[in-house]
Each structure stands twice: as C-alpha cells, then as structure tokens.
Amino acid sequence: MTQRKINARDMIVEILDDDDTTYLTIENLAAVKPNKGENEEVADTTDYDSEGVHEHEVMQRGATMEIEGHEKKDHLTGALQPGRARVEEMAGESKVGADSLATIRFRHVMDTTWKIWRCTVTLGESGGGHNDKSAWAATFTKSGPTTTAAVS
C-alpha cells in the first residue's frame, strides 16, 4: 500500500435538505477545516498525590468544521446555489431550539464512508476589501455523536 498526501480540495461536504432524504453539495468551497478538538471539556484530577504534575480526564468531546469560499449568486436573480442556500437557511434567525439542528455529511474522495453530524450552523464573515471578491463562510458545530454511512 502506498501512502500519499491528500488534497484538501478533495473534501466533499453536503447538507441535508428539508425533505430529510436529499443531500445537497455545498458548492465552490475554497477551504474545509474540521477541528476535532473544539468544545472538548476536561475535569482536573490533580491531587496531592500528583506531586505537582497536572492530571486531567476528558469529560466531553466536541468538534467543529469551518467552510469558506467566495460568495456566489445568480447574476439575474441573486439566488444562491442550492447547498449554500440551505446552509444560510439553517443559520437563520428563526432557527432556534430543535429547529436549529441541521445534518451534514462529509468525506474525502478517497474515503468509503461518510461522517455524519447533527450540528448547528453559524454564518461567518462575508465581504472583503476594495480588490477582493466577496467572502462567504460558515461553521458547523457538532451536537451529539458522529455517525457513519457507506458511500453508495
């Protein structure tokens, strides 16, 4: 087996549509950054027997994923691409409580399984400077365990 470095640009990220059966590809991404250590919480277990050395145990695991790209809209209607429109919908002001949870799945093109998260969605900064194309970004914050599904 030959080990090879993988291209970050070969990540596929999809969000479940409101029909709960169709996944929409989140289009034109320029960066995908999973953070498997975000929202981790530890309990300090240091005591007198620790002899001045810090000890702890993980009590909670968490994860986030930041996605970034250029803002892109239909030049006639101003409509977003379907995947991005769904991301923005799930980050909307009315999405609170149980309604704030979306489902995403992601994998590298070489993977044979999808990682699936229930998560909340937060839009990131947009815009840019005088000679920039407008930026678009979102963060998914995992809620609950990661599940998997075979790529079909």
Other beta carbons within 10 angstroms of residue 100's beta carbon come to 16
Whole-prediction pTM value? 0.92
Domains and CATH numbers, the chain: 8-150 (2.40.30)
Pairing mode, if any, of strands 135-142 and 56-60? Answer: unpaired
pLDDT tens digit string along 89-139?
999 999 999 999 999 999 999 999 999 999 999 999 999 999 999 999 999
- Count of all residues that appear for the chain in the document: 152
Q: Please, are residues 135 and 71 in contact by the beta-carbon 8 Å criterion?
A: yes
The pLDDT mean for the chain works out to 96
Q: Please, are residues 89 and 101 in contact by the beta-carbon 8 Å criterion?
A: no
The helix or strand, by DSSP H or E, that contains position 89, with its residue range, turns out to be helix 82-90
